[in-house]
Amino acid sequence: MVEMLTIRRTATMVTGLAFALVATRALEAQTAPTTPAAPTAATQPAPPPGPGLTIINEKCSGCHTTASVFSQRRSPDDWAATVQLMVDRGADLSPDDENVVIGYLAENFTAPAKPAAK
Ligand code: HEC
């Protein structure tokens, strides 16, 4: 009798597990991104050379890859804000470096300005 019970329990558990697996798969399928993925470093053209690139390679690669910088497209204002934010976080840039980097990013990795916030 005890044996029967054990077998039954195991069967219930296996069914439960299988269900959980199917449910997880279904959820994964549902949450799969519908928009194409952002371009990855591999598909990025090499960033153009310049003093800005030198500074970025030196000063912006400590906390994250520079690919995470060059994969972005921002308006000049947004770049200024981003670079300022990184300096606030600890990026070691002199004010001159900051201006060079902002200019470089604004020129080469630009995006149309966002419409004014609602
Ligand atoms: C002291 C560490 C640090 C340094 C140095 C640093 N960053 Fe960052 N940066 C971060 C962190 C942490 C994040 C991720 C958090 C986030 O997404 O806001 C980030 C994210 C970013 C992003 C993505 C932000 C977004 O909104 O998706 C960009 C672009 C960026 N950094 C640019 C730069 C540039 C340019 C420099 C050099 C001037 C730099 N970072 C140097 C810490 C740093």
pLDDT, tens only, 37-90: 555 555 667 899 999 999 999 999 999 999 999 999 999 999 999 999 999 999
Give the residue whose CA is nearest to atom 34 of ligand 1. 60
Q: Please give the backbone phi and psi of residue 45, each rounded to the nearest 5 degrees, phi first.
A: -70, 155
Q: Is residue 106 helix, strand or coil?
A: helix
pLDDT of 25: 58
Give the Å distance between the CA of 94 and the centre of ligand 1. Answer: 16
Residue with tokens 């070691």: 92
pLDDT single digits (tens) 20-41: 555 555 555 555 555 555 555 5
How high is the pLDDT of residue 88?
98
Residue ranges lining ligand 1, Cβ < 6 Å: 56, 59-60, 62-64, 68-69, 72, 82-83, 86, 89-91, 93, 101
Distance 69 CA to ligand 1 centre (A): 7
Residue type, 2: V
Ranges 14-18, 49-53, 101-105: which has the least confidence: 14-18
DSSP string computed for 22-84:
HHHHHHHHHHS--SPPPPPGGGSPPPPPSHHHHHHHHHSSSSS-THHHHT--B-HHHHHHHHH
Provide the whole-model pTM: 0.69
Banded model confidence at residue 11, pLDDT cuts 50, 70, 90: low
User: Which pLDDT score is estimated for 72?
Assistant: 96
Please report the pLDDT score of residue 55 as a whole number. 98
Query: What is the structure's pLDDT at 20?
Result: 56
